[in-house]
Amino acid sequence: MNPKYRPLMESFHFKNGVEVKNRIVLAPMTISYSQQDGTISDELIAYYESRSNGVGMAVTGSTIVTPNSRVFGGELAADHDDKIPSLQRLATTIKKSGAKSILQIFHGGRESSPEVVPNSEIVSASAVAKEGLSVFPRALEEKEIGEIIRAFGASTRRAIEAGFDGVEIHGANRFLIQQFFSPYTNQRDDRWGGNIDKRMAFPLAVVDEVQKVVAECAKQPFLVGYRLSPEEEWTPGITMADTLKLVEALANKSLDYLHFSLMDFWSKPRRGVEDNRSRMEIIYELVGQRVPVIGVGSIHTPDEALRALQSGVPFIALGRELIIDPDWVGKITLGKENEIRTELTLNDQEKLGIAEPLWLKIINTPGWFPIADKT
């Protein structure tokens, strides 16, 4: 291995005792490879076996906590105890090569499609329709909010029983937890909405419930992470200032890590703070000494990963890069970093084991994946 890349391969010890073998994380991506009931398929096992080979930590794609959590169809499920054997098979597969296995748990809220949720009923913090659609979600009632919070805890218990090394609470990408935090999608006037402190109540209640279940059920150190999107493009919406307040509150919860959802690691704030640094640098300065931070976004090469690591964040997550080249980490350790692929070709779907729904999204979303021979 080229000595300059050794920092990427250094181990990391979390405060709770969990040791991760290197600084590369498989980013969570919903690959739509599960059975329709949310159990594991052979194709999904093959995907995670190849993509977790070499990384220090692997975070699964979105895993539902209730039947009405679905967004796409084909997500993993942790909404019932009968899913535990399936989840156990996945955890075992990820851990086979030494990666820590993290189950990402989520609820889609208003992002769900009527055809994939019970009774075609979509729910959210408030009755605010998704942009460009006429389908309005129903605002959750107080009792239902409590049930969903407890569902995050129950899914965490199932992850523990299935042998995962941790869970990641999905508070990013416009899903339900973010919908409660956003002034755009949360127009409530009760204890779950209004000012920013009330809009943080649901995310923090989910964290409390998950941590309570871990304290009660985990027999060995178990990681709890939280993923969030720093800003929303619309007004009113989440600003960088809002996110810094949430990040401060999350850091005070003694979470094991914070994971940010970005298309570009070096992207700068839109509004809310006057700062020319990247969002990741601002966040790291605020909480990086208290809680480990995972950075992500358009990091294609080992040199780009090294530069991002030098910003101070201890982990770099790769999503698209490990889909394009499952041997990304292995090529570094073998000194073959010049052979890392950074583009897809239109003939790669079968060779790389990419599910049809994901493949269609890749080739029909300009600019998302670099595609060498697309005309």
Residue 294 host element (H or E): strand 293-296
The pLDDT value given to residue 100: 98
Report the alpha-carbon distance of residue 261 to residue 243 in Å, rounded.
12
Instruction: Examine residue 120 and state whether it is found in any structural domain, yes or no.
Output: yes
Instruction: Examine residue 63 and state whether it is found in any structural domain, yes or no.
Output: yes
Q: Which domain holds residue 181?
A: 3-342
pLDDT tens across the length of the chain (375 residues): 999 999 999 999 999 999 999 999 999 987 766 677 778 888 889 899 999 999 999 999 999 999 999 998 888 999 999 999 999 999 999 999 999 999 999 999 999 989 999 999 999 999 999 888 888 999 999 999 999 999 999 999 999 999 999 999 999 999 999 999 999 999 999 999 999 999 999 999 999 999 999 999 999 999 999 999 999 999 999 999 999 999 999 999 999 999 999 999 999 999 999 999 999 999 999 999 999 999 999 999 999 999 999 999 999 999 999 999 999 999 999 999 999 999 999 999 999 988 787 888 899 998 889 898 754
The pLDDT value given to residue 40: 85
Report the alpha-carbon distance of residue 316 to residue 304 in Å, rounded.
10
Share of the chain above pLDDT 90, in %: 85
Sign of the C-alpha dihedral, residues 38, 41, 47, 50? positive
Per-residue tokens: 339: 């052979």
Contact (CB, 8 A) for 76 and 64: yes
The pLDDT value given to residue 299: 95
For every residue of 36-70, which 3-state class applies, written as one string?
CCCCCCHHHHHHHHHHCCCCCEEECCCEECCHHHC
The pLDDT value given to residue 66: 97
Instruction: Examine residue 24 and state whether it is found in any structural domain, yes or no.
Output: yes
Tens of pLDDT, residues 115-174: 999 999 999 999 999 888 888 999 999 999 999 999 999 999 999 999 999 999 999 999
The pLDDT value given to residue 33: 63
Instruction: Examine residue 348 and state whether it is found in any structural domain, yes or no.
Output: no
Report the alpha-carbon distance of residue 245 to residue 227 in Å, rounded.
15
User: Whole-number mean pLDDT of the chain?
Assistant: 94
Q: Of 205, 186, 88, which Cα lies nearest the Cα of 139?
A: 186
Instruction: Examine residue 373 and state whether it is found in any structural domain, yes or no.
Output: no
- For residue 131, what is the domain's CATH number? 3.20.20.70
The pLDDT value given to residue 375: 46
Instruction: Examine residue 369 and state whether it is found in any structural domain, yes or no.
Output: no
Cis omega (within 30 of 0) for bond into 357 = no
Per-residue tokens: 184: 């755009």
Instruction: Examine residue 366 and state whether it is found in any structural domain, yes or no.
Output: no
* DSSP track, 242-261: HHHHHHHHHHTTT-SEEEE-
Share of the chain above pLDDT 70, in %: 98
The pLDDT value given to residue 32: 62
Say how many domains are in the chain: 1
Radius of gyration from C-alpha coordinates of the chain: 20
Contact (CB, 8 A) for 81 and 156: no
Per-residue tokens: 205: 């209640």
The pLDDT value given to residue 63: 96
Instruction: Examine residue 353 and state whether it is found in any structural domain, yes or no.
Output: no
